[in-house]
Amino acid sequence: MALSLEVSDLNHSIKLHNGTQLALIEALSLHIEAGEHIAIVGASGCGKSTLLSLLAGLTPVQSGQVTYRAKSQALNSSEILAHSGFVFQQFHLLPELNALENVALPLQLRGHRDAAQQATHWLTQMGLEQRLTHNVTQLSGGEQQRVAIARALCVRPQVLFADEPTGNLDETTAEHVIDLMLSGARQSGTSLLLVTHDMALAKRVDKAFRLSHGRLMLCQ
């Protein structure tokens, strides 16, 4: 099931300590075709993570519409969540589980009997074959990031939301992980929405947008 996204007239403001409202997103519109890969770039603090969270349904929409469709059928929020993968800045790994268990869990929850083998495959792809039984709290930031990416990709989500997916990685590892993420998403027909400061990554997706003054402009 390939999902397209239609965003219209989206607005989001936050309340500052002095009580005034700061508009982060203003009358924003966006269309993403099913299977399309897009990047959002922009200055630090301009609202990229907030926008991704709104698009993922993790932050309630204040005004405007965010609609995912499978063919012409609109999906409700629980259907969207069931078909989504997330790689966020706080990796949200389960600290009491090891790397293998963290990746295997969403597969087990979906009834995959070979969850451990699939998880091993994805972690090996991420260069973590020597870290399978490490508790995730014993892994470096970059290693945890790769576990989070493996966990998101292994269930072949229809939409993958990624916030700075290569932020903690050195250049060579970042390139390898990007290759895996983009090819994994292509193979599964996954729509990819990512936030990044990495222009090399932004250039590798179908469309890159700059968030500025609350709106998205297509990068040339």
DSSP 3-state of 94: coil
Min CB(161)–ligand ATP separation in Å = 13
DSSP 3-state of 59: coil
Nearer CB in complex with ligand ATP: 35/47: 47
Nearer CB in complex with ligand ATP: 16/218: 16
List CB contacts of 121: < 8 A, sequence separation 6 or more: none
Phi and psi at residue 97, to the nearest 5°: -110, 155
Query: Under rule CB under 6 A, how many of the chain's residues touch ligand ATP?
Result: 10
d(CA 32, CA 92): 26
Min CB(200)–ligand ATP separation in Å = 17
Min CB(91)–ligand ATP separation in Å = 15
- At what angle are helices 99-109 and 141-154 packed, to 10 degrees? 20
Q: Residue 124: in which H helix or E strand, if any? A: helix 115-125
Nearer CB in complex with ligand ATP: 14/94: 14
Min CB(113)–ligand ATP separation in Å = 39
Nearer CB in complex with ligand ATP: 45/95: 45
User: What Rg, from alpha-carbon coordinates, does the chain have?
Assistant: 17
- Interface characters, 8-47, with ligand ATP (x: CB under 6 A): ------x---------x-----------------x-xxxx
- Interface characters, 44-73, with ligand ATP (x: CB under 6 A): xxxxxxx-----------------------
β pairing state of 63-70 and 73-74: antiparallel
Identify which of 63, 64, 44 has the alpha carbon closest to the alpha carbon of residue 164.
44
107 exposed, middle or buried (CB, 10 Å; 0-12, 13-18, 19+)?
buried
Nearer CB in complex with ligand ATP: 12/131: 12
Nearer CB in complex with ligand ATP: 135/168: 168
Sign of CA dihedral 188, 85, 4, 49: negative
Min CB(48)–ligand ATP separation in Å = 4
Min CB(173)–ligand ATP separation in Å = 20
Nearer CB in complex with ligand ATP: 48/131: 48
Residues that bind ligand ATP (CB under 6 A): 14, 24, 42, 44-50
